[in-house]
């Protein structure tokens, strides 16, 4: 594949994903702003409920990652019928997980939040939000299968359109239902939950309906759904479970890091959140390129073209490092200007600007981790990514504890620990990516040699 075509393919897959994620970020920020203006307790309740629910939902989305990888590989092998069988089986059997998760949250939300240590009135607000919002979990299984159609085939534009549709509906209904516009009563946090649920259902309906289009490279079919096989779905689980545990490990690490910050000063957690909010902008591009790398690596794995997997990773890496360089320069030159978007407190701006400057160095290894991770997953090796994430979680927690408390570096110690973690895992994942490609190249050369000998005989 020529360099120009490879770059175009990466951007063609990644840009719609990037746009969709950016729109979702705007949706979440607007949602938080509305709730914060209505009542500060609402913001705390949704923060606790949303994060915990998302942690459980990430299990299903990770299974969707397994589906997308297998679909991409089957398309590379030119076996679209098998890809459709994988999608049909995911559509059916992921729905069972959806019902299970819904039941847990709908009937056990108060117990879960009580165990988390929430107290009144936030406990009641969080439980009310969860009881309404988690009705959408019933549709998450089939939505996971539909998303795998786009991520596996590389035709990601519908994901962007679904995000725009979902965000537009959510923001409008938030304003109407939270504050009571157009004759509706002011419903507060219940209105926010209804708005989000409505937007999620409409967005999922669009995503699923479009996934049945025969104009797509691969699509959902009623035949494959009716012929769903548990054995096929078990292959999805074997790849998807490590991905879900990887996500869970990452979330656990962040929860503990925030706890460390709260031990120092509640303000430290706020500074950490501001820095994370600022650096999410380049990170969205990294994640989009990571998804594109996974899709193309899966396709090239199916085609038996390991050299193209290497080129895909290298090209995505150069693009991400170009973006990293731009944002590094901006964060170095204007750190306090970025911090001033989130607060007017001079002392907070000064501290946030300094921490943003330190965290800027982590952009390069972070982008490498995401791109190498996408390539490794595309080759079907999700276990390695689970291993490095568990290692990274333990690594960053130990170093953060030592640097923050034993060496009295406070919040600076946390950002140094994050940089060391990202750099260490970037080296580990980079070596594994290239060694995996070399093994596939050697295996292909051996296979071609055996075929040539057989033909001569």
Does residue 328 carry a pLDDT above 80?
Answer: yes
Mark whether 218 and 254 lie in a shared domain: no
The closest of 294, 391, 296 to 65, measured between CA atoms, is: 294
Mark whether 318 and 415 lie in a shared domain: yes
* Coil/strand/helix, residue 364: helix
**Pair 152, 211: CB distance under 8 Å:** no
> Residues 343, 274, 325, CA angle at the centre, nearest 5°?
115
Write down the pLDDT at residue 2. 63
Answer yes or no: is 404 within a domain.
yes
Would you state the structure tokens that stand for residue 245, as one six-digit string? 């545990």
**Pair 88, 231: CB distance under 8 Å:** no
Domain end position, chosen among 180, 200, 228: 228
Query: CB burial class (10 A; 0-12, 13-18, 19+) of residue 314?
Result: middle
For the chain, the average pLDDT equals 90
**Pair 327, 363: CB distance under 8 Å:** yes
The C-alpha atoms of residue 168 and residue 65 are separated, in whole angstroms, by: 26
Mark whether 9 and 119 lie in a shared domain: yes
- Which residues, 6 or more positions from 53, have their beta carbon under 8 angstroms from its beta carbon? 105, 130, 133, 134
The residue whose two tokens read 């607060």 is: 343
Question: DSSP character for 184?
Answer: -
Residue 43's pLDDT band (cuts 50, 70, 90)? confident
Mark whether 109 and 188 lie in a shared domain: yes
The C-alpha atoms of residue 76 and residue 399 are separated, in whole angstroms, by: 42
Q: Kindly report, residue by residue over 157-177, the tens digit of the pLDDT.
A: 999 999 999 999 999 999 999
For helices 363-378 and 40-76, angle between their N-to-C axes, nearest 10 degrees: 50
Handedness of CA 248, 282, 320, 15 (dihedral sign): positive
Would you state the structure tokens that stand for residue 66, as one six-digit string? 């397994």
The C-alpha atoms of residue 126 and residue 42 are separated, in whole angstroms, by: 8
Does residue 178 carry a pLDDT above 70?
Answer: yes
Residues listed for the chain: 457
Question: DSSP character for 406?
Answer: I
Domain end position, chosen among 161, 196, 228: 228
Write down the pLDDT at residue 445. 65
Phi/psi at 106 (5° precision) = -70, -40
Write down the pLDDT at residue 84. 96
Mark whether 21 and 110 lie in a shared domain: yes
Mark whether 98 and 119 lie in a shared domain: yes
Is 0.95 surpassed by the pTM of this model? no
Does residue 377 carry a pLDDT above 90?
Answer: yes
Answer yes or no: is 235 within a domain.
no
Answer yes or no: is 219 within a domain.
yes
Omega prior to 121 cis, within 30 of 0: yes
Would you state the structure tokens that stand for residue 265, as one six-digit string? 């000063």
Answer yes or no: is 233 within a domain.
no
Please give the distance of CA 397 from its chain centroid, rounded to a whole number.
21
Mark whether 297 and 428 lie in a shared domain: yes
Mark whether 287 and 192 lie in a shared domain: no
In angstroms and rounded to an integer, the radius of gyration of the C-alpha atoms of the chain is 23
Mark whether 220 and 130 lie in a shared domain: yes
Write down the pLDDT at residue 67. 94
Q: What is the DSSP code string of 334-353?
A: SHHHHHTTT---HHHHHHHH
Percent of the chain residues topping a pLDDT of 70: 95
Mark whether 205 and 280 lie in a shared domain: no
Answer yes or no: is 86 within a domain.
yes
Q: Where is average pLDDT lowest: 241-245, 416-420, 422-426?
A: 241-245
Please give the distance of CA 298 from its chain centroid, rounded to a whole number.
18
Q: In total, how many domains does the chain have?
A: 2
The residue whose two tokens read 């705390």 is: 44
* Coil/strand/helix, residue 214: coil
The C-alpha atoms of residue 160 and residue 216 are separated, in whole angstroms, by: 16
Domain end position, chosen among 228, 254, 288: 228
Q: Kindly report, residue by residue over 202-242, the tens digit of the pLDDT.
A: 999 999 999 999 999 999 999 999 999 999 999 999 998 99
Phi/psi at 342 (5° precision) = -100, -20
Mark whether 186 and 321 lie in a shared domain: no
The CA–CA distances, whole Å, from 122 to 39, 119, 245 equal: 11, 6, 29
The C-alpha atoms of residue 175 and residue 181 are separated, in whole angstroms, by: 7
The closest of 111, 128, 61 to 90, measured between CA atoms, is: 61
Q: Kindly report, residue by residue over 431-442, the tens digit of the pLDDT.
A: 999 999 999 888
Mark whether 201 and 304 lie in a shared domain: no
Does residue 447 carry a pLDDT above 80?
Answer: no
- Between 252 and 230, the more confident residue is 230
Answer yes or no: is 234 within a domain.
no
When pLDDT is averaged across residues 422-450 and rounded to a whole number, the result is 87
Does residue 449 carry a pLDDT above 60?
Answer: no
The C-alpha atoms of residue 27 and residue 21 are separated, in whole angstroms, by: 10
**Pair 307, 24: CB distance under 8 Å:** no
The residue whose two tokens read 């054995």 is: 231
- Where in the sequence is the domain holding 78, given as residue range(s)? 1-228
Other CB atoms within 10 A of residue 111 CB: 11
Q: Kindly report, residue by residue over 114-155, the tens digit of the pLDDT.
A: 887 778 888 899 899 999 999 999 999 999 999 999 999 999
Does residue 446 carry a pLDDT above 70?
Answer: no
- Which residues, 6 or more positions from 291, have their beta carbon under 8 angstroms from its beta carbon? 13, 14, 17, 151, 156, 374
Answer yes or no: is 236 within a domain.
no
* Coil/strand/helix, residue 339: helix
The C-alpha atoms of residue 149 and residue 162 are separated, in whole angstroms, by: 14
Handedness of CA 315, 316, 319, 321 (dihedral sign): negative
């Amino acid at each position: 594949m020529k360099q120009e075509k490879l770059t175009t393919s990466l951007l063609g897959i990644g840009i719609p994903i990037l746009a969709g994620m950016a729109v979702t970020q705007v949706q979440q920020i607007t949602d938080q702003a509305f709730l914060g203006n209505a009542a500060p307790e609402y913001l705390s309740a949704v923060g606790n409920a949303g994060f915990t629910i998302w942690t459980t939902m990430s299990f299903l989305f990770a299974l969707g990652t397994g589906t997308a990888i297998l679909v991409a590989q089957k398309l590379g092998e030119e076996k679209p019928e098998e890809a459709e069988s994988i999608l049909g089986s995911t559509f059916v059997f992921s729905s069972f997980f959806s019902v299970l998760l819904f039941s847990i949250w709908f009937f056990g939300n108060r117990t879960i939040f009580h165990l988390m240590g929430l107290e009144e009135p936030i406990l009641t607000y969080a439980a009310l939000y969860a009881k309404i919002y988690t009705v959408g979990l019933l549709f998450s299984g089939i939505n996971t299968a539909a998303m795998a159609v786009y991520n596996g085939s590389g035709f990601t534009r519908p994901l962007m359109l679904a995000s725009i549709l979902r965000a537009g509906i959510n923001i409008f209904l938030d304003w109407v239902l939270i504050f009571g516009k157009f004759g509706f009563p002011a419903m507060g946090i219940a209105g926010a939950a209804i708005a989000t649920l409505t937007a999620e259902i409409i967005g999922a309906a669009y995503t699923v309906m479009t996934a049945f289009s025969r104009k797509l490279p691969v699509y959902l079919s009623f035949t494959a759904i009716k012929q769903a096989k548990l054995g096929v779905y078990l292959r999805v689980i074997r790849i998807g479970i490590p991905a879900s545990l990887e996500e869970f490990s990452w979330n656990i690490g962040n929860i503990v890091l925030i706890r460390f910050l709260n031990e120092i000063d509640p303000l430290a957690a706020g500074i950490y959140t501001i820095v994370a909010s600022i650096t999410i902008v380049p990170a969205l591009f990294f994640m989009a390129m990571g998804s594109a790398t996974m899709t193309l690596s899966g396709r090239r794995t199916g085609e038996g073209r390991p050299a193209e997997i290497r080129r895909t990773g290298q090209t995505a890496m150069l693009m991400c490092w170009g973006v990293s360089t731009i944002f590094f320069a901006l964060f170095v030159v204007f750190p306090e200007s970025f911090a001033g978007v989130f607060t007017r407190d001079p002392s907070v701006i000064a501290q946030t600007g300094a921490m943003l400057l330190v965290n800027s160095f982590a952009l390069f290894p972070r982008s490498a981790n995401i791109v190498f991770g996408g390539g490794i997953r595309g080759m079907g090796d999700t276990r390695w990514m689970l291993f490095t994430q568990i290692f990274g979680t333990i690594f960053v927690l130990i170093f953060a504890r030592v640097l923050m408390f034993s060496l009295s570096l406070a919040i600076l110690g946390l950002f140094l620990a994050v940089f060391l973690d990202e750099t260490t895992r970037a080296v580990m994942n980079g070596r594994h990516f290239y060694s995996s490609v070399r093994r596939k190249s050697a295996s292909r050369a051996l296979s071609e040699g055996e075929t040539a000998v057989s033909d001569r005989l």
